[in-house]
Amino acid sequence: MLNTDNELLIAEEYHYNTFMRKLPGGGLQFGEGTRECLVRELQEELAVSVEKLEHFYTTEFFVQSAFNADHQVVGIYYRVELPENLVTRFRESRLVPEENGQEYFRWVKLDALTPDYFTFPSDQAAIRAFLERQRA
């Protein structure tokens, strides 16, 4: 989610006694497609309805789950057209999650982002690909 001010929406969360910085999203539920999953997750996490999604990137390497050694993770990334009301949200003072289950969203200037800003390898690879496309 990139706004007209060249800012990307990111999520900062605290789960499993761990701070993580990532792109908004979540996991598939049984019987759900990837687009359906993203629409549901954005409704649950951001209380927004989105209709225009464009596939952007899928991880092409093995990523072991950070929370379950028996699972692997495949990241599927979409560019999402922003609903108008989302652009003005998440501009409050900087909150950092400190308790399990807390999550906050905020806009970050694109030129301030590097792949190592994010916690997980799949997000790092997606941001690397996104930044390369933006510069092309």
pLDDT in tens, 67-89: 899 999 999 999 998 777 676 67
The strand order across the sheet containing 103-109 reads 18-22, 7-15, 103-109
Q: What is the pLDDT of residues 86-135, one digit of tens each?
A: 766 776 666 778 888 888 898 999 998 999 999 999 999 999 999 998 88
Model pLDDT, residue 87: 67
For residue 13, report the phi and psi dihedrals to the nearest 5 degrees.
-135, 160
Domain ranges within the chain, ordered by starting residue? 7-135
pTM: 0.87
- pLDDT for 136 equals 75
For 7-135, CATH gives 3.90.79.10
